[in-house]
Amino acid sequence: MQSIEVPCPVCGLEIERSVAWIKSNGHFLCDGCGSVITLLRDRFLKDLQSADRLIAYSRAQAPRRLH
């Protein structure tokens, strides 16, 4: 399961959440200070798609190993 750390803009605590969780939630409470953290899900999903495309392109361009 892939996860990322989301920093709290108030206290700086890094909160780990799975990518699947972020895809289905728009906000959560900081485990440290209780502040509401609002996620920019549309931006996150767009960046995630870009990263997936770059990974796929890199794998396609990698030289094939000889066995």
Q: What is the pLDDT of residue 67?
A: 54
User: Residues 33, 10: contact at Cβ < 8 Å?
Assistant: yes
What is the rounded average pLDDT for all residues in the chain? 85
- Would you say residue 43 has pLDDT above 90? no
Domain ranges of the chain: 3-61
Q: What is the pLDDT of residue 8?
A: 93
Per the model's pLDDT, the better-predicted residue between 8 and 3 turns out to be 8
Kindly report, residue by residue over 4-30, the tens digit of the pLDDT. 888 999 999 999 988 888 888 889 999
Work out the average pLDDT over 21-50. 87
CB neighbour list of residue 45: distance below 8 Å, 6 or more residues apart: 23
